[in-house]
Structure 1
Amino acid sequence: MLENTWGLKYALPFILLLFAYTLQAQTNITGTVADTKGKALEGIAVTVVARDSNTTLAYAISGADGAFSAALSSSLDSLKLVARALSYGEQVFVVPNKSQRIDFRLQPQQITLKEVSVRANPITRSNDTISYSVAAFTDKKDRAIADVLKKLPGIEVENSGRILYEGKPIQKFYIEGLDLLEGKYNLASNNLPAGAVTSVQVLENHQPVRVLDSLVASYSTSLNIKLKNKVTTTGAADVGAGSGHSPVLWRANLTPMLFTQKQQMLISYQANNSGDDVAADLKTLTVDELQDQAESSTSKQNLLRIQEMSPPQFSSNRYLFNNAHLASANYLLKLKRDVQLRVNASYLHDSQKQEGETQSIFYFPNDTVRLFETKDNSLFFNSAQANFTLLKNTKSNYLENNLKLSAYRDSQRGLIGTAGRTVAQHLHNPYYTLSNKFEAIQPVGRQLVSFSSTVAYNSTPQRLQVSPGQFEELLNKGATYDELEQQVDLSSFYTHQAVSITKGIKQWTFTPQFGFQVQNQKLESELVKVQHQDETAQERLFQNNLDWESRKYYGQLDVRYKAKYWEMTAKLPLGLQSFEFQDKPLNRKHEVNRLITEPHLSLKYDVTPLWRARASVQVANQFGNIEQMNYAYILRDYRHLQLNNSPLQERLLQRYTLGLSYKNALTSFFSNLSYSFSTTESNLIYQNNLQQNGALVVTALDFTSTALSHTIGLQTSKYFSELQTTLAVGTNLYLDEREQILNQGLAKVQNQNLAFHLKTNTSITEWLGVDYTSTISTLKNIVEAGASRRATQQEHHLSANIYPADRHYIGLTTELYHNDFSKQNPSSFFGDLLYRYTFERKKLDMELKWVNISNVSAYTYSYNDAFTFVQSTYRLRPSQLLLSFRFSL
């Protein structure tokens, strides 16, 4: 077991006690609210309070039919029920504490006030929809809706722009109920003015396919942006210039938007050399789209690579040396009969420079190897993407066809300085893909019939050149030589066809599904040794010519049972998985046939209207792919030579999760606790043979190994409306243990990561606001019977927002980074200063921004993996001054 089992020893009983406490006997109050004539009243607040102290125990909002339901757990003898609303008199009942039905009849009442001040609740809830008032969370400095999202309690925004709710990524990002960007929502969140938005809606348990709503469960959450006007013409534009690293710094952004009931449009052109990462706006952030890409292998693959610098986890304008241009066009049109046509197209040209150094420490049971490298890299990204979608999504049927085309013409160059020599790397890594996904759901009699079809093709021709040549002992009898060249060409065809029937019987829903998947791939590779003094002296060292075919035929039964307070879903698949792969020149051939079952059970229980418990159990069979089946060596980068002359990798994954969440919109309080345990058994183990110069030869061996992991997470956030303050705290604990062979020795390797998070933003006075975030994390790596290393890292961000006069804003931002692993540069301090003047029109801002005031030139940070601890020092952009003008369209 892991050394840090103390975390589980105390955390698990705490979780179980918390569940036991919240699962005590409940009182259920149901009923209706109507006027004196019997007409149902919608939106009436019914509050259950303690009879003596008026402490709120539960609340409910009446629906369109006037019905309400409230559940609570209390030991009180009696309760007080209050129904109140504007234009109606208040009605109160005092009742015994037991489950019962209460019907309210409210008397209309006129209210005359001499003077009234109304403050709307910043957060409201109706069924599974939580609405945040944007005006309540917006201050004078905020421009885009992304600035506001970071303040909303219960919502997290990662550095990448990905939005989390209850610790999980959102499923969809809608604008007025329409999915314009299909997962690449950074384009909207970073450019949609906050002033154009009236509210942000969190859609819990959201089923995006309307015909499946109430039949097929969804535990995912989506986000919907509600605009102020039915017809909205908005967007952002800014242009700026300044001085810094280049003789002249510049940036430009023109992003007009149009939103109407029948069409949506977002067009963007962005360019800069000031460190803004425009490519982040093209990242797919939603889970569904990422899963589709993984299934059909349509996300960009890098079979070969150069040794890059891992970028720091802070704003790109501190470290990114770039010259970037991005053009994106997104258009959605609602045709007749509820049909939508959507077009998304983009082009990116991005040149980047990286400079820095890394110190890698490799821990083995009986040895420790240290490697020091200086790195100077030039990265070039060129890509064009187009996506065409036809969608019909109604309560009666569903049809979607999605055609995607992508082309990448990327290349990289790098210089590595290590052990008194310089290694040059040249990589060409293009990638091309074409895919189409069709899905239709149609009622036939009293059931729904679904059909889906996915077809994808991609090509990955890549080439890596390394000079001088590496792995002299293995490849050249210990003698030096000029160059090593690796060529890899991977082509792939994939199809997935499936049909299902969905039938609802009272509280049960049954969906039997049948389908098959076929993937045909061909991997050709050649490793060549080159001597430049004789152009003909090229020796072909290792070649792969692998044909791969995988087939899966399966049947699956999905079952759902939904009661008033709880819900159960189960996936019960049974499939035949087969693999056939051969390399004729190497006279290698294998066939694998497996009968697999992968059950997945999920439970959700609404303990009260505020508390929700969930649990799940999952079993999955995971198989290796063609990238892990090379019978001859492939040079992955200048110091990683890989051989997989072994059986097909087979892994059995078992995962168990528990979760408990609390959401109170009235008090603006959100909390989420989760625990996950997983065990993975594999038929292979990887042997890592490391040389003193850092060269690593990786081979796979036929050996059963087991990996264990534990994850505990707690996030809590609250908004104090009187103080205009949002406070969020959280902690994450991750423990991992696995077996590996390190330089011929079998060892257990453990990783332990513990992190604490704190975030707050507050308005102290009308002229001063403060934002503060902090993360303290501890990383520990343990190799059995060998050395271990612990490192603690801290990040502190403090911003003062000053409004000295009308239309003037001063922002002072400070950041402190500290790690106890680095002895030379354990701390880095940054300061930025921003002055903004808003012209009287209020749609034009002038900004003068001074970044990196103290001119910090390098940043040192640490991270670890299975048996390696890495300290990286990244060269940063120097102090820079940028004057820009921003227009809100």
Structure 2
Amino acid sequence: MKKNIFFFLMIFFSVLSFAQKTVSGKITDEDGIAIPSASVTIEEPGKDAILAYGITNSKGEYKVTFTSAESNVDLKVKAFNQKPLTKQISNSDQNLSFKMQSEATEIKEVQLKTKMITARGDTISYDLKAFDSKNDRTLADVMKKIPGVEVNADGTILYQGNAINKFYVNGKDLMEGGYGTINNSLPKDAVQRVEVLENHQPVKILQDKVPSDQAAINIKLKKSVTMTGRGEVGSGFGDPWLWNVKLTPMFFGQKSQWVVNYKTNNMGEQVENEGNILAFGNRFEGRRINAAQNDWLNVENADVPNLPVKRYLMNNVHYVSANYLTNIDKKKEWELKANANYTNNAVERESYRQTDYFATSDEAASRVTQNIFNQFYTNKAKGELIFTKNAKKGFFKNTTSFSQFWNADRAIADRTDPLGSRHGEESVDSPTSSFQNSLSTIIPWKEKMFNVQSFINYQNDRQTLDVTPASYLKLPGFNPGNNAETVRQNFRMKTFEANHSANIGFSKKGWTFTPEIGFNFKRTSLNSDLTNLQNGQYFGYGEEFNNDLTYSTAVPYASVGVNYKNDAWMIYANLPVNSNNIKADDPVRNVSKSVNKVTFEPNIFAQYTFASFWKASVSGNINNNFGEVNSAYAGYLMTSPSGLYAMDVENPIPQNNTKSAGTRLEYRNPLNNLFFNVNYRYSDTKRNLISSPTRNTSGFTIIGYREEENHALSNAYSAEVGKYFPKFKTNASVTYGNNTSKSDAYQNDDAYNSKNNTQSYGFKFNNTYFDWMSIDYNASISRTKQTSRSLRAELNNENSRKGFTHNLGVFFYPVENHTIGFNWDQVNTNSGLNKYNNAFYDVSYQFSWAKKNVDFELKWMNIANKKVFETYDINPQSISYTRIQLRPSQVMLTVKFNFK
């Protein structure tokens, strides 16, 4: 592995050093007056290919860095009302200044042409019209086709493979990271262009002082004051009657912005996740989290297929949200933001699974079949209030949020195993309250900057798991009495967390040093008991099934941040020394554990920009994790009807040390519309505890842990290449990934080593060349090989799995304002003699009432009425066949319109 890293880094740094030259100087007219905004390009002689380019500043100065193997290159200068200049220069570092001759630029005809991709500094602008098709209606429809930009299934926007840190509309951050609503509902016709802000530092006072390696997206609207939005109303035939309503009016002004959103459907569209925070900004803005329950207790869950959600989600959802932003001062530096959302959702799910467990030293090979029917009920509300000042002379941000959950899960399970057939009914009720407040302020004083941050989080989780009848459970070494009707697991957890820090920043000649001191504190109390009911009387299982644990972590720390930025280099490092003080106490179980350890956990990143279009970076970090409350409780806890979990009283607090390093090479050239990146990441985690599950032939498991040093290694390679072909109006990209993980493990006291290698290939293609047709195509191929090696040869196993998925969308425009669409989803699984092919087809017809900007769509989904999804999976100790219930064929009539 060390050879692989050395080889990769050798190539990496050789690219940096190969024939890299810089030409700089000044461009003036015949009178010696500086010419701003003149373009300076470097080209290889006789080739129509730009190696690098630059734009002169207000003083007429330019600087261009390039890489070429030629001994000479051509330097070309162009400016308005000046005669173009071309000069062949040597491939060397040099300073060259030029005087340009005046020449009137004759304009025969006034014709405005917008370049589809333009670049200025760290900003790359995309003209949306260059990438859309006649069938596209929203920003999200077009964003997926922009070269260098990718949209994940959860709505996260990636640029060059990395998540963005901000999403602006006309320069304002209304959504505070929850940009899914705007991306999915903003009409494309309201957008002038999409801007990618590379290396974006969102805190203005830190710009040119503390660099960032992340990009941001800014949506530039056609009008500075825009009232817009998107709406849909649909109804359809299926089982049951179908509906789909989306109403999302929006307003974007110079002083205020707002978005109101209501969406409801029962036709398989997952709209409730639009409010999730997808971009988290900068650490100096404070801390923001997606509030979520601590889901310790769960019913047995039906499987979920590797398909688009619309194919299997049996839902009944109502989601409403409102986002508001306004400036509260004349200078427009202070902003008030108020956000709120509410979700009411009911989901049904059903699957059948047949699992063949391999033999262990204690148990023979066995087969377990299970049919599970679920009903999940979600009720949650969230409110948020944010005050922000983001100016060159100071920064302030306070975020207060409150979330409340009233969730309930149900399951009906039928199980057949070597001990017989059983029927069980399971339920979990889980109310949760959560409160957070985050404060961060930066105050300038002469050449220094003072930053104070505070984060407070309190959460209260209550959960109850019931299993009826108790005889459904067949856990190793634990079975309810014959008269037990119900087994109940009670659980409550209270969490309080407070993080406070203060730092001061010094800046000089591009360097910024930030000494910081802080104190992080977290206290969690866990109470649980496992009981059963017999003939209406209460019976407990004893102290071994109770927990009364308090787990506290106190970490005072001191660190130094080092940042540097110039035209070529961007370096930042954080060098903290942490004093970790962890304590776990449970007098009922005689648990008293502690760790007091000082750790050094550096995090370093360096990026070098060269030849205008290239970026190369390296990173590395060391991290220590001492576990949470879930790694310290000693009383048995039934987290699911399929298993019990507990830590041995004698086990120490976990200590996990992770060392990781990575490198990245990136190229983005808006002049020829070519983007690509290559990545490598290596990590090694050393742990002092190892999981040691005990499983019986019925598949029920008790999870314990051993004190034993073990490692988890990971190697990941990835590459992506994308190019837009303007002549053919085609955007294409290919991706490759190779991930290998190795870890030590136990099963029924048998030690083994598990190795998993996954290779994936992806291809994306869209074309709008023809006026009568457009095509969108995505395909991926994956190969997985799972190997388990033990000292006992009869326990060794090796399995492999191949997968293929694709999505084809073709739209025909036979007559103006008429669209016929065809969609094909294909998911195939292949493992040995087991092959499962799953195909889904949709057709649609859309009529556009152009005068009113209204669409009428008739869509038939799942034409073949495929009702189940079949797949085959491999695991270190089992092989599973799964059959999952899908949505039946359905027909929808929808009216779509824009708010204006």
Q: TM-score range by the shorter chain?
A: over 0.9
- Deviation of 1:369 after TM superposition, in Å, equals 4.7
1:501 aligns with 2:504: yes
User: How far apart are the structure 2 equivalents of 1:267 and 1:554?
Assistant: 43
The answer to whether the Cα contact below 8 Å between 2:532 and 2:538 also exists between their aligned partners in 1 is no
User: How far apart are the structure 2 equivalents of 1:279 and 1:361?
Assistant: 36
Amino acid at match of 2:827: Y
Q: Helix, strand or coil for the counterpart of 1:89? A: coil
Structural mapping, 1:555-570, within 5 Å = 555-570=558-573
- Deviation of 1:872 after TM superposition, in Å, equals 3.0
The answer to whether the Cα contact below 8 Å between 1:365 and 1:747 also exists between their aligned partners in 2 is no
Aligned equivalent of 1:585: 588
The answer to whether the Cα contact below 8 Å between 1:472 and 1:478 also exists between their aligned partners in 2 is no
1:380 aligns with 2:377: yes
- Given candidates 756, 766, 773, the residue that maps to 2:771 is 766
Which stretch has the larger CA shift, 690-699 or 291-300?
291-300
- Given candidates 168, 172, 178, the residue that maps to 1:174 is 168
User: How far apart are the structure 1 equivalents of 2:402 and 2:285?
Assistant: 14
Percent identity, aligned pairs only?
A: 28
Aligned equivalent of 1:535: 537
Q: Helix, strand or coil for the counterpart of 2:136? A: coil
Q: 1:459 to 1:212 in 2, by over 3 A?
A: same
- Deviation of 1:38 after TM superposition, in Å, equals 4.5
- Deviation of 1:840 after TM superposition, in Å, equals 2.8
User: How far apart are the structure 2 equivalents of 1:496 and 1:369?
Assistant: 50
Aligned equivalent of 1:606: 609
Runs of 5+ unmatched residues, structure 2: 791-795
Q: 1:409 to 1:38 in 2, by over 3 A?
A: farther
- Given candidates 833, 840, 843, the residue that maps to 2:843 is 833
The answer to whether the Cα contact below 8 Å between 2:287 and 2:438 also exists between their aligned partners in 1 is no
The answer to whether the Cα contact below 8 Å between 1:182 and 1:289 also exists between their aligned partners in 2 is no
Aligned equivalent of 2:830: 820
The answer to whether the Cα contact below 8 Å between 1:690 and 1:697 also exists between their aligned partners in 2 is yes
Structural mapping, 1:343-492, within 5 Å = 343-363=338-358, 368-419=365-416, 420-469=421-470, 470-471=473-474, 473-476=476-479, 481-492=484-495
User: How far apart are the structure 2 equivalents of 1:213 and 1:428?
Assistant: 48
**TM-score, normalisation: structure 2:** 0.94
Which stretch has the larger CA shift, 150-159 or 356-365?
356-365
Amino acid at match of 2:433: Y
Aligned equivalent of 2:17: 23
The answer to whether the Cα contact below 8 Å between 1:616 and 1:658 also exists between their aligned partners in 2 is yes
User: How far apart are the structure 2 equivalents of 1:837 and 1:739?
Assistant: 59
Q: Helix, strand or coil for the counterpart of 2:189? A: helix
User: How far apart are the structure 2 equivalents of 1:11 and 1:569?
Assistant: 22
User: How far apart are the structure 1 equivalents of 2:345 and 2:873?
Assistant: 27
- Given candidates 707, 710, 725, the residue that maps to 2:712 is 707
Amino acid at match of 1:628: S
Q: Helix, strand or coil for the counterpart of 2:96? A: strand
Aligned equivalent of 1:73: 67
Structural mapping, 1:803-814, within 5 Å = 803-814=813-824
- Deviation of 1:321 after TM superposition, in Å, equals 0.7
Q: In angstroms, what is the RMSD of aligned CA positions?
A: 2.3
Deviation string for 1:425-475 (max 9, x for gaps)? 100122210110111000122200000111111001111111232245523
User: How far apart are the structure 2 equivalents of 1:865 and 1:285?
Assistant: 31
1:192 aligns with 2:186: yes
- Deviation of 1:290 after TM superposition, in Å, equals 11
- Given candidates 63, 66, 89, the residue that maps to 2:57 is 63
Q: 1:554 to 1:10 in 2, by over 3 A?
A: closer
Q: 1:108 to 1:869 in 2, by over 3 A?
A: farther
Aligned equivalent of 1:682: 687
User: How far apart are the structure 2 equivalents of 1:480 and 1:157?
Assistant: 55
Q: 1:480 to 1:874 in 2, by over 3 A?
A: farther
Which stretch has the larger CA shift, 638-647 or 401-410?
638-647
Aligned equivalent of 2:554: 551
1:749 aligns with 2:754: yes
- Deviation of 1:32 after TM superposition, in Å, equals 2.9
The answer to whether the Cα contact below 8 Å between 1:822 and 1:871 also exists between their aligned partners in 2 is no
Q: 1:448 to 1:609 in 2, by over 3 A?
A: same
Q: 1:422 to 1:650 in 2, by over 3 A?
A: same
1:516 aligns with 2:519: yes
Q: Helix, strand or coil for the counterpart of 2:477? A: helix
Aligned equivalent of 2:127: 133
Amino acid at match of 1:714: A
- Given candidates 279, 303, 306, the residue that maps to 1:286 is 279
- Deviation of 1:284 after TM superposition, in Å, equals 2.2
The answer to whether the Cα contact below 8 Å between 2:801 and 2:874 also exists between their aligned partners in 1 is no
Q: 1:502 to 1:368 in 2, by over 3 A?
A: farther
The answer to whether the Cα contact below 8 Å between 1:296 and 1:456 also exists between their aligned partners in 2 is no
1:260 aligns with 2:253: yes
User: How far apart are the structure 1 equivalents of 2:898 and 2:776?
Assistant: 24
Amino acid at match of 1:84: K
User: How far apart are the structure 2 equivalents of 1:131 and 1:316?
Assistant: 32
The answer to whether the Cα contact below 8 Å between 2:227 and 2:251 also exists between their aligned partners in 1 is yes
Q: Helix, strand or coil for the counterpart of 2:141? A: helix
Amino acid at match of 1:809: T
Which stretch has the larger CA shift, 568-577 or 81-90?
81-90
Deviation string for 1:488-526 (max 9, x for gaps)? 100011111100000012232100000001112210001
User: How far apart are the structure 2 equivalents of 1:683 and 1:432?
Assistant: 34
Aligned equivalent of 1:212: 206
Deviation string for 1:377-434 (max 9, x for gaps)? 0000000001100000001100000001000101000112211222211001222101
Amino acid at match of 1:624: G
User: How far apart are the structure 1 equivalents of 2:35 and 2:294?
Assistant: 57
Aligned equivalent of 1:654: 659
Amino acid at match of 1:744: D
User: How far apart are the structure 1 equivalents of 2:787 and 2:151?
Assistant: 32
The answer to whether the Cα contact below 8 Å between 2:450 and 2:505 also exists between their aligned partners in 1 is yes
Q: Helix, strand or coil for the counterpart of 2:487? A: strand
Q: 1:296 to 1:672 in 2, by over 3 A?
A: closer
Amino acid at match of 1:837: F
Amino acid at match of 1:689: T
User: How far apart are the structure 2 equivalents of 1:292 and 1:352?
Assistant: 36
User: How far apart are the structure 2 equivalents of 1:168 and 1:370?
Assistant: 43
The answer to whether the Cα contact below 8 Å between 1:251 and 1:273 also exists between their aligned partners in 2 is yes
Runs of 5+ unmatched residues, structure 1: none
- Given candidates 840, 853, 857, the residue that maps to 1:843 is 853
Deviation string for 1:10-44 (max 9, x for gaps)? 79746633541442132201123344455544433
Which stretch has the larger CA shift, 593-602 or 464-473?
464-473
Aligned equivalent of 2:145: 151
1:875 aligns with 2:885: yes
The answer to whether the Cα contact below 8 Å between 2:475 and 2:702 also exists between their aligned partners in 1 is no
User: How far apart are the structure 1 equivalents of 2:34 and 2:627?
Assistant: 60
Aligned equivalent of 2:575: 572
Amino acid at match of 2:375: S
Aligned equivalent of 1:326: 319
The answer to whether the Cα contact below 8 Å between 1:211 and 1:395 also exists between their aligned partners in 2 is yes
Q: 1:477 to 1:267 in 2, by over 3 A?
A: closer
Deviation string for 1:111-144 (max 9, x for gaps)? 4455576643311111211111111111111111
- Deviation of 1:363 after TM superposition, in Å, equals 5.0
The answer to whether the Cα contact below 8 Å between 2:286 and 2:453 also exists between their aligned partners in 1 is no
The answer to whether the Cα contact below 8 Å between 1:243 and 1:249 also exists between their aligned partners in 2 is yes
Q: Helix, strand or coil for the counterpart of 1:177? A: coil
Amino acid at match of 2:352: E
- Deviation of 1:309 after TM superposition, in Å, equals 2.9
The answer to whether the Cα contact below 8 Å between 2:730 and 2:768 also exists between their aligned partners in 1 is yes
User: How far apart are the structure 2 equivalents of 1:852 and 1:860?
Assistant: 16
Aligned residues: 881
Q: 1:110 to 1:717 in 2, by over 3 A?
A: same
User: How far apart are the structure 2 equivalents of 1:382 and 1:210?
Assistant: 38
User: How far apart are the structure 2 equivalents of 1:21 and 1:747?
Assistant: 41
- Given candidates 317, 321, 341, the residue that maps to 2:336 is 341
Aligned equivalent of 2:793: none
User: How far apart are the structure 2 equivalents of 1:562 and 1:201?
Assistant: 22
User: How far apart are the structure 2 equivalents of 1:325 and 1:313?
Assistant: 25
The answer to whether the Cα contact below 8 Å between 1:364 and 1:787 also exists between their aligned partners in 2 is no
Deviation string for 1:73-98 (max 9, x for gaps)? 22323222111244433122222222
